[in-house]
A and B are shown apart, each in its own frame.
Chain A
Amino acid sequence: MAKKKKKTPGINGTSSADIAFMLLLFFLLTSSMDTDKGLPRRLPNPVPKDQKDKEDVEIKQRNLMVVLINSTNEVQCNNEIIDIRQLKDKVKEFVENAYNNEHMPEKIEMDVPFFGNMLVTKNHIISLRNDRGTEYQAYIDVQNELAAAYNELRNDVSKKKFGKSFAELDQEQQEAVMMIYKQKISEAEPRNYGGK
């Protein structure tokens, strides 16, 4: 009865370890992929305690845009209450100053890599101030609109020059674009803002 000896061969289980390893790798990668997201900002250096308030750089009125959020979460832009949806276009108009309006930030000639000589609103400052009673969501909304305005401006100029969106550019190109539209948001208490 030699035929009875033949059994069905067992399933080869050596590769199931590999499958389990693949699962392990997948979980390892996805668990660290769940990173935190947010709006990155940079705080100014602390003011030395012995420094007097007076010696601060004076900011020209035309270079300054004051965005104020009051305690009832209304947004004021240069002393005028506006809707949050208008803010982005206002900021874009202000930072870009396409028509060289004399009430908008002055344009300064600058040598930018890839672009050559450009007129840039280098000295503009957006001063963001809030009341102690402002809600955090309202504050984040405004920060978000400011970031959106800069992102759109950068995207526009990238599309025009390189035919790609800002995120697709390589690092040097991104730096050049960022030189043109540098994010200048001041959150600390700026003094002398209404100077001249």
Chain B
Amino acid sequence: MPELNTSSLPDLVFAFLFFIMMVTSMREVTLKVVFKAPQATELQKLEKKSLITFVYIGQPVPELRTQMGSETRVQLNDQIAEISEIQDYIAQEKSSMKEEDQPFMTVSIKADYETKMGIVTDVKQALREAYALKISYSAKPRIN
């Protein structure tokens, strides 16, 4: 019986590696709002990715300006939404989680650093109403 030829095994693994690399970068949402994180120093890492829901706040990207105008908007998942839709969105996200994980759900607010607080306050109120009380203000480490 001839021995199994293993010389193509590395190629197989490399193909797998490329697949994983592509998939991990593909999972990111396409941003429809311009978002530049504010800077801070006292940051904490968010632990489990599956428990985090993201809410983006910022001005629409230049391609969408003709339809949307330049007013600050909220993005949930892949589309721009109204503040009134947040509650449904949170409820939906919550129900898709395992029941024992639901109390640990965290909402990461990714707002542009130039956003006015008015809309952030509105979002916070909507989150309160939806009982998504654990939030995190996303920021990046301060350089200098």
Tell me the B123-144 residues at the A interface (CB within 8 Å).
124, 127-129, 131-141
Q: Chain B contacts of A2 at CB under 8 A? A: none
Q: Chain B contacts of A16 at CB under 8 A? A: 9-10
Q: Chain B contacts of A131 at CB under 8 A? A: 117
Query: By the criterion CB–CB under 8 Å, are B40 and A43 in contact?
Result: no
Q: Is B41 an interface residue (CB 8 A)?
A: yes
Q: Is A144 an interface residue (CB 8 A)?
A: yes
Q: Is A35 an interface residue (CB 8 A)?
A: yes
A-B contact count (CB 8 A): 147
We find that the number of chain B residues with CB closer than 8 angstroms to chain A is 53
We find that the number of chain A residues with CB closer than 8 angstroms to chain B is 44
Q: Chain A contacts of B44 at CB under 8 A? A: 37-40
Of all chain B residues, the one with the shortest Cβ separation from A151 is B42
Binary B-proximity of A131-174 (CB < 8 A = 1, otherwise 0): 11111110111011001100100000000000000000000000
Of all chain A residues, the one with the shortest Cβ separation from B119 is A132
Query: By the criterion CB–CB under 8 Å, are A148 and B41 in contact?
Result: yes
Q: Quote the shortest CB–CB distance from A144 to chain B (angstroms).
A: 4
Query: By the criterion CB–CB under 8 Å, are A135 and B115 in contact?
Result: yes
A97 CA to B140 CA in the complex, in Å? 32
Q: Is A1 an interface residue (CB 8 A)?
A: no
A interface residue numbers (CB < 8 A to B): 13-14, 16-17, 19-21, 23-24, 27-28, 31-32, 35-46, 69, 130-137, 139-141, 143-144, 147-148, 151, 187-188
